[in-house]
């Protein structure tokens, strides 16, 4: 039954592209701090005044007890086995289907239209198929080919055993084990045969020494003009600040309780990785999206250990905009807001000029069609808690 008061799905992205002066239209702004607990979440909220102190305290705690050098090989030598264990323990129950990708990346839905023609979309780091299966369900294009790859054999088996995989309603889907840092592309994938590659919360699982090979493989599989759609963890996200002792592997690289790794990116690091240049016109006023009620999340994100799992499934979902809310014009952005964050630190491997990544062709390899930061202020009204999450998002076109 239709409920006029039910939350409406968010229809537009809230990611603030660095080339845009103002955040996107259709956001919910906190104009009076006294109202912060009146809603579940707020858009375009700059870091609080004491954020530098909070970050410094967290980093000092982490650096005081890092992972011992003699222990690091346990997490770096064979990372796929830790993801195998993760999917054996969680099956397909941990991550929700990423239907929000259709809003963030409308190119995906364009590919599913009946008249879109022959197209190939490859999801790298597919996990249990939480991105490809919503696409397959929505697909009306008989010529759409979906590919799903993961270096966890157990994750690939979960995809292959899904009823949609066994009997796709339209188009086709294949899945196979493949490591993004392999020397070759998957056996049945030729160079320059993919129109769109999806890389969601995957690059952060790699060691920085592996970035060059990953970028080279994405570039190799894409057609000229093909798109890479990327979303990943941002620097000083709540999950990063909650890591405690014996979790820091290297600067901004951590090991979770389940032994999987995670790196937290600066926006310039992603720009350098894919374009060879820093982000231009650095207007990184991070945005947030309206989040589902933090009081009703399947796990209490106000108290849970966000460092023990690859992500909080509910917090990956763009939220809902209440039918009673009105979209407003963006307020003026305070240029001093960046002062509430430490100066950006770029990984040393990206600081050479001209930039040359190991095992990767010289830049420029991609142009940045979109590159932005998505900052969400989640509110737990019952506990009167504020939680700051940070993600990076980009669209890169192969040159």
In order along its 399 residues, the chain shows pLDDT tens digits of 445 445 455 555 656 666 666 555 456 777 778 888 888 877 777 788 888 999 999 999 999 999 999 999 999 998 878 878 877 777 655 555 666 787 889 999 999 999 999 999 999 999 988 899 999 999 999 999 999 999 999 999 999 999 999 999 999 999 999 999 999 999 999 999 999 999 999 999 999 999 999 999 999 999 999 999 999 999 999 999 999 999 999 999 999 999 999 999 999 999 999 999 999 643 333 333 333 333 333 333 333 334 444 433 334 443 332 322 333 333 333 444 455 678 889 999 999 888 989 899 999 999 999 999 888 888 888 888 888 889 999 999 999
In whole angstroms, give the CA distance from residue 174 to residue 163.
Answer: 13
The domain locations on the chain are: 43-286+344-398
381/294 Cα distance (integer angstroms): 8
pLDDT of residue 304: 35
| Topology at the third CATH level for domain 43-286+344-398 | Rossmann fold (3.40.50)
| Residue 201 pLDDT | 94
| Cis bond upstream, residue 364 (ω within 30) | yes
pLDDT attached to residue 342: 81
The pLDDT score that the predictor gives to residue 80 is 79
**pLDDT for 260:** 93
Q: For residues 331 and 18, is the Cβ–Cβ distance under 8 A?
A: no
Q: What is the pLDDT of residue 331?
A: 33
Query: Which pLDDT score is estimated for 287?
Result: 38
Q: How many CA atoms lie within 13 A of 271 on its CB side?
A: 20
Residues whose CB is less than 8 angstroms from the CB of residue 203 and which lie 6 or more positions away in sequence, other chains included? 211, 214, 230, 232, 263, 265
What pLDDT is stored for residue 71 in this prediction?
A: 95
HEC per residue, the chain: CCCCCCCEECCCCCCEECCCCCCCCCECECCCHHHHHHCCEEECCCCCCCHHHHHHHHHHHHHHCCCCHHHCHHHHCCHHHHHHHHHHHHCCCCCCCCCCHHHHCHHHHHHCCCCCCCEEEEEECCCCCCCHHHHHHHCCCCCEEEEEEECCHHHHHHHHCCHHHHCCCCCEEEEEECCCCCCCCCCCCCCCCEEEEEEECCHHHCCHHHHHHHHHHHHHHEEEEEEEEEEEEECCCHHHHCCCCCCEEECCEEECCCCCEEECECHHHHHHHHHCCCCCCCCCCCECCCCCCHHHCCCCCCCCCCCCCCCCHHHHCCCEECCCCCCECCCCCCCCHHHHCCCCCCCHHHCCCCCCCCCCCCCCCEEEEEEEEEEEEEEECCCCEEEEEEEEEEEEEEC
How far the first Cα of the chain sits from its last, in Å, is 49
Which pLDDT does position 79 carry in this prediction?
A: 85
How far from 148 is each of 9, 85, 160, 178, 289, CA to CA, in Å? 27, 19, 10, 9, 28
Provide the pLDDT for residue 282. 37
């Amino acid at each position: 039954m239709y409920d006029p008061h039910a939350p409406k799905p968010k229809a537009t992205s809230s990611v603030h592209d660095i080339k845009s002066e103002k955040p996107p239209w259709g956001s919910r702004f906190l104009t009076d701090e006294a109202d912060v607990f009146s809603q579940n979440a707020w858009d375009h909220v700059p870091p609080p005044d004491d954020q530098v102190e909070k970050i410094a305290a967290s980093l000092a705690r982490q650096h005081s007890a890092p992972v011992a050098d003699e222990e690091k090989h346990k997490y770096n030598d064979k990372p796929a086995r830790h993801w195998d264990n993760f999917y054996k323990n969680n099956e397909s129950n941990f991550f929700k289907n990423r239907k929000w990708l259709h809003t963030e990346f409308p190119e995906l839905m364009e590919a599913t239209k009946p008249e879109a023609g022959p197209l190939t979309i490859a999801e790298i780091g597919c996990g249990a198929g939480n991105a490809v299966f919503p696409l397959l369900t929505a697909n009306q294009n008989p010529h759409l080919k979906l590919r799903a790859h993961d270096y966890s054999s157990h994750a690939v088996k979960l995809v292959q055993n899904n009823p949609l995989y066994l009997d796709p309603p339209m188009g086709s889907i294949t899945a196979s084990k493949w490591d993004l840092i392999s020397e070759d592309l998957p056996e049945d994938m030729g160079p320059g045969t993919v129109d769109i590659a999806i890389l969601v919360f995957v690059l952060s699982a790699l060691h920085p020494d592996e970035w060059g090979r990953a970028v080279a493989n994405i570039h190799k599989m894409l057609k000229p003009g093909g798109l890479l759609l990327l979303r990943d963890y941002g620097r000083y996200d709540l999950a990063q600040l909650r890591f405690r002792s014996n979790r820091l592997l290297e600067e901004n690289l951590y090991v979770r309780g389940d032994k999987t790794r995670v790196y937290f990116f600066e926006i310039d690091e992603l720009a350098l990785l894919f374009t060879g240049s820093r982000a231009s016109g650095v207007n990184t006023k991070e945005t947030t999206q309206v989040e589902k009620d933090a009081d009703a999340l399947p796990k209490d994100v106000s108290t849970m250990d966000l460092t023990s799992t690859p992500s909080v499934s509910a917090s990956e979902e763009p939220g809902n905009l209440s039918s009673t809310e009105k979209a407003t014009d963006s307020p003026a952005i305070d240029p001093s807001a960046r002062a509430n964050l430490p100066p950006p630190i770029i990984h040393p491997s990206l600081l050479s000029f001209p930039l040359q990544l190991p095992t990767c062709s010289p830049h420029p390899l991609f142009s940045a069609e979109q590159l932005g930061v998505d900052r969400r202020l989640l509110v737990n009204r019952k506990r009167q808690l504020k939680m700051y999450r940070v993600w990076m998002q980009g669209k890169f076109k192969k040159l």
